Chains A and B, each alone.
Chain A
Amino acid sequence: MRFSRVLLGLIVVGAAAGWLLSAPQPLTAADIPDRSPDVAHGEQVFWAAGCASCHSVEDASGDARLVLSGGRSFPSNFGTFYAPNISSDPQHGIGDWSEADFLSAVMRGVSPDGRHYYPVFPYGTYAHAGISDMQDLWAFLQTLPADATPSRPHDVGFPFSVRRGLGLWKRAFLNEDWVVDGSDLSPQVMRGRYLVEALGHCAECHTPRNALGGLERANWLAGAPNPTGEGRIPGISPAHLNWTEADIAAYLGDGFTPDFDSAGGEMAEVITNISQLPDADRAAIAAYLRALPGG
């Protein structure tokens, strides 16, 4: 009798702690600087962050990549996710959001109605971004076309369908620290780190994950199975890629490997984004990749 009361007490305390620890944590007004955004810079952030690679329709090219109506599917071990409509449509897109809604979504993974987003949306990496960059991105997104395609619900089974549990996932696997740390990094490598670890979210595909979908930071950019089940996504750390810095930078602009084969698959689309950035940014990404351990 006494034992079962203790057990019951532990369960209640555990459940209460789990509930508190899993609470969504949106940004507060105090986190958000009051400034007028730079739309042109927001476009640069848009290309660096690769938004169109998930939120435009499959096979879109040219200006169609600016119509962020969603719909692409992302199979995983936990179910199939569908990119939502993030166009400026007020009903089916995010046209009626506030700046704070957007910033909490993209940097904290919390929706305007206070629920966790699934980490297929790489807010864990965008959390490393400068908040002013994300404000500029929000300003740019609002200039893009509206599209009234409804978002398709994710196809995720129990227990992953309980979004509250993602609060614990975030505590376990998100990390505010940079992977490449140190006070002696050059400005160029620091810019590359920002583009790779914060905006470009390269690790989302190029780093392997544990059984619960958390990134294995110890195997940073070492390559990973393709979640579609076909083939592998190659490693791009020095142990796995022996291209020169100049070759990497050129590849990110024109899509040609050092032996002049061309990028294919998902990477061809990544290059469509990254080729919009200034040469200095591609050089910075290359410098960062070569500065990783083993380079």
Chain B
Amino acid sequence: MPVFKKTILASSIFTLAFGAAAMAQMDYSAQIAARQGQMDIMALNVGILGNMARGNTGYDADLAQAAADNIFAAASVGHQIAWPAGSDNFDLGDATAALPAVWDDPDGFDQAWGDLRTAAAGMAEVAGTGLDAVQGAIRPLGGACGGCHRNFRQSDD
């Protein structure tokens, strides 16, 4: 009987250890590259609008509209595929800035994406109509970015 128990114990430990190793070896590099690319697309296009809003570049209605449409499209890519559980910076370290809160608070994360789509739609509606409109819509857009990064992204400082 004690031998049996020991065998159970040993196999449990083996399973746990092997399981943990298997988890650690899951390769999420494609998902992380995809979502970081999604962020890069948004940053590139926000830069077009932001530089116009700040007066660093001249206002161009067609370019502003194209950038706003791109942001809305990138914000509309569903996040369930590129954000698998276990791909956070607690498990994976510096490979990602995604905090475990993304998976601990899925409703909050969904809400944050919803807020981004709302702000991006607001920008896309007006970006081609004039500089004032871009300057008005950039702040809610920045607020939506910050609203998500506040709780779900590791600060880089």
- A247 to B47 CA separation, bound complex (whole angstroms): 13
On B, residues with C-beta under 8 Å from A are: 43, 46-47, 50, 53-55, 105, 108, 138-139, 141-143, 145-147, 149-151, 153-157
Q: Residues of B contacting A262 with CB < 8 Å?
A: 142, 145-146, 149
Q: Give complex CA distance A256, B55 in Å.
A: 14
* A to B CB contacts below 8 Å, 26 in the list: A59-B105, A59-B151, A231-B157, A232-B157, A246-B54, A250-B53, A253-B142, A254-B50, A260-B46, A262-B149, A263-B142, A263-B150, A264-B150, A264-B153, A264-B154, A264-B156, A265-B150, A266-B150, A267-B146, A268-B147, A268-B150, A271-B142, A271-B143, A272-B146, A275-B139, A275-B143
CB of A269 within 8 A of chain B? Answer: yes
Closest A-chain residue to B146, C-beta based?
Answer: A268
Q: Is A255 in contact with B157, judged by CB distance below 8 angstroms?
A: no
Minimum Cβ distance to chain B for residue A239 (Å): 16
> Counting chain B CB atoms within 10 Å of each CB, which of A253, A255, A263, A267 scores highest?
A255
Contacts of A268 in B (CB 8 A): 146-147, 149-150
Other A-B pairs beyond A255-B145, A255-B146, 8, CB < 8 Å: A59-B105, A233-B157, A246-B54, A253-B139, A255-B143, A260-B43, A262-B146, A264-B149
- Least CB distance from B80 to A in Å reads 22
- Please, which residues of chain B bring their CB within 8 A of the CB of A59? 105, 108, 151
CB of A259 within 8 A of CB of B141, answer: no
Q: What's the minimum C-beta distance from B150 to chain A, rounded to whole angstroms?
A: 4
Q: In the assembly, what is the distance between CA of A265 and CA of B99, in Å? A: 11
Partner of A263, one of B50, B53, B55, B149: B149
Task: Check if A61 is an interface residue, CB within 8 A of chain B.
Answer: yes
Q: Which of A231, A246, A247, A256 contacts B142 (CB 8 A)?
A: A256
Which residues of chain A are within 8 angstroms of B143 by Cβ–Cβ distance?
254-255, 271-272, 275
Q: Check B142–A234 contact: CB distance below 8 A.
A: no
Contact check, B43 vs A263: say whether CB atoms are below 8 A apart: no
Ranked nearest first, the 7 interchain pairs of A and B with the lowest CB-CB distance are: A264-B149, A268-B146, A254-B142, A262-B145, A265-B155, A268-B150, A255-B142
Question: What's the Cα separation between A233 and B146 when bound, in Å?
Answer: 17
Cα(A256)–Cα(B138), bound, Å: 9
B residues in contact with A261, CB < 8 Å: 43
Minimum distance in angstroms from B121 CB to a CB of chain A? 17
Q: How far is the CB of A206 from chain B (nearest CB, A)?
A: 10
The residue on A at minimum CB distance from B48 is A260
Within 8 A of B (CB), among A209-248: 231-234, 246-247
